[in-house]
Structure 1
Amino acid sequence: MQWSDLVAWEEQYGPINDVQPLTPLQQGLVFHTELDAEHGVDAYLTQTVLRFTGAIDPERMRHAVQTTLEHYPNLKASIVTNTSGEYVSVIPATVEVPFTVVDVAGSDDFETTVTDHADSQRAMPFILTQPPLLRGVLIQNHDRDRNALILTAHHSLLDGWSATPLITYLLQSYRRPSQAPQANKAYTQFLEWHENRDRSESESAWSAVLSTLESPSIVAPGVRNIGTHPESFKFSIKKEVNEALTALAQTAGATLSTLVQAAWGVFLNTITGQETVVFGTTVSGRPAEIDG
């Protein structure tokens, strides 16, 4: 980082608390986000919807979300490039979370309203240089004491594992609004751990694992311009089929997810003709070597 970088960032964001490197995963997420930006689509958004029954104070909830950002400073990050062309995470001292309150009193279909707002939030890409890369929408139906909090964030900030401690802290902050936030250092410790790892050892291990792979396992090699917008496909299976699959998984000492992945591997083998196939799947967790 050059001194000129810091000067420019302070002119844009005000006082800066920290500048952090991006992990390889974050770099990949940012690369694909910018690659798809021209299409107005960002596949790397995460979203959590919390539902509450009873009276919810919207200002108190906004304060709880803001306090959560102060507790986890990396949630205040903007992602920029320095003069060397490297992506870095710049964390301003002061960032106000966008928070919208929607009153739908009199509405007869609360869940449809929540779904529509959630979809609308997903359709709004983040600008990576404009922090925070997280926003909240609180939908309230006072007539029926129903509430929904929609939290949308860029995937470079949050994954499935980190959503749980974030929500836990948010709810604690709502219950105890006078509690002063203390910055959590777990992410900084993770970056330090990551920087001290022997990358050559990791590369050698993965090279050995993939050494028998002849070529990528491409499902549709002739297809071009494949969309990146996430889609879901739902279907139903008969009860007896579900019971049979569950019994098979139990016999094999595996989960249904593992069984489905095995079936997908067999399918890839069939359509590609490759003896060794490879595909990706999402995993969630943290290294045992560090706390938090």
Structure 2
Amino acid sequence: MSDDNPIRVPAPRRVPPAPPSAEVERLPDRSGPLPLSFAQRRLWFLERLGRVGHAYHMPLALQLDGRLDRDALRAALDALVDRHEVLRTRIVADGAEAAQRVDPPGGGFPLRFEDLTGHADPDAALAGLQQEESTAPFDLAAGPLFRGRLVALAPDRHVLLLTMHHIVSDGWSLGILTRELGVLYAALHEGRPDPLPPLPVQYADYAAWQHQWLTDGTLQRQETHWRQILTDAPTLLDLPTDRPRPTEQDHHGAHLPITIDTDLTTALKTLTTHHGGT
């Protein structure tokens, strides 16, 4: 498999320390609602606020060259859903707040198939399908919060379109998903068992631990710090731009390619390393 949109894995960010092994052993009960992480709460609020559209959709297109074992690919995707609880998670209302609901394994991956092998212009049709897949809305409460479409362009040329909501995934996760999909596909195609070790901790466990970590006054101290730092900060930054600020914000954008030479790239990496940045 090759990726026609190469994944750029970001450098590690500063995050709370990993939960000690003793805390990992006390995993929350899956039979009831589970707390959202603070990042998930923010995205849930924005979704309820409306007007964000597909700004928080995470589309990925994987180009698959050569003879494709479609049964092995579907089985590999199903195995990923069973392996990662977050791919079986829905965000449901819990009073005035929201909570995670983890569905049981065995539901499979919602994969559709599109045959463009006889199309007059398959690449143009593919572009239309990519747009359709990346912009179709998700229902956070009903789920699933991911979807896929396998597009055949020729007998030996396919593209796998995957789209996930940011509330269950991020840029780093896309790299993990792609790597594990390749490992599972190869094993299942060759008739070997699943080679991936079981996951001792799932995202819902991290979210629960994150809430525990912030119950000792940490959250209040951080809030107080930023309220002091941002005192008297302007509501809007009046930056010089090439066109006036729109009356209402939207989330339409485009890609602007920029080439940075080797010397500048090396200098930037040295600078960020020195200051502990990304």
Matches within 5 A, 1:34-53: 34-36=48-50, 41-53=53-65
Match of residue 287 from structure 1: none
1:139 counterpart = 2:151? yes
Structure 1 residues 213-222 or 27-36, which shifts more?
A: 213-222
Identity of aligned residues (%): 21
1:191 to 199, 207, 220: 207
How far did 1:33 drift? 1.6
Structure 1 residue 215 corresponds to structure 2 residue 233: yes
Alpha carbons of structure 1 residues 54 and 42: separation in structure 2 relative to 1, 3 Å: same
Q: Show CA shifts across 1:234-262 (max 9, x none).
A: 2667xxxx55x95497289436xx9xxxx
Select the structure that is richer in helix: 1
Aligned equivalent of 1:97, options 109, 113, 123 = 109
For residues 210 and 250 of structure 1, do their structure 2 counterparts lie closer, same or farther at Cα, with a shift above 3 Å needed?
farther
Q: Deviation per CA, 1:79-117, whole angstroms, max 9, x where unpaired?
A: 1112x3220111121433221111111446554333321
Structure-2 change in CA distance of 1:27 and 1:106 (3 Å): same
Structure scoring higher RCO (CA < 8 A, sep ≥ 6) equals: 2
Structure 1 contact 64–173 (Cα < 8 Å) conserved: yes
Q: Which amino acid aligns with 1:64?
A: A
- Cα distance in 2 for residues equivalent to 1:108 and 1:189: 49
Match of 2:97 in 1: 86
The alpha-carbon deviation at position 188 of structure 1 amounts to: 3.9
Correspondences of 1:100-115 after superposition (within 5 Å) = 100-107=112-119, 109-115=121-127
Structure-1 residue corresponding to 2:134: 122
Of 6, 20, 26, the match for 2:40: 26
- Separation in structure 2 between the aligned mates of residue 89 and residue 146 of structure 1, nearest angstrom: 38
1:201 is matched with which residue?
Answer: 218
The aligned counterpart of 1:174 is 185
2:254 maps to which residue? Answer: 232
**Partner-residue secondary structure (3-state), 2:168:** coil
Three-state SS of the structure 1 residue aligned to 2:91 is strand
RMSD (Å) for aligned C-alpha atoms? 3.3
Q: Distance in 1 between matches of 2:186 and 2:76?
A: 9
Provide the rounded CA distance (Å) in 2 between the counterparts of 1:252 and 1:129: 41
1:127–1:189: structure 2 CA closer, same or farther, 3 Å change rule? Answer: closer
The offset of 1:132, in angstroms, is: 1.6
Provide the residue aligned with 1:148 in structure 2.
159
Select which of 237, 246, 250 maps to 2:267: 250
Cα deviation, residue 193, structure 1: 2.9
The answer to whether the Cα contact below 8 Å between 1:33 and 1:42 also exists between their aligned partners in 2 is no
8 Å CA contact 1:100–1:138 kept in 2: the answer is yes
Q: 1:248 to 1:88 in 2, by over 3 A?
A: closer
Q: Secondary structure at the match of 1:60?
A: helix
Q: Please state how far the C-alpha of 1:24 moved relative to its aligned partner.
A: 1.3
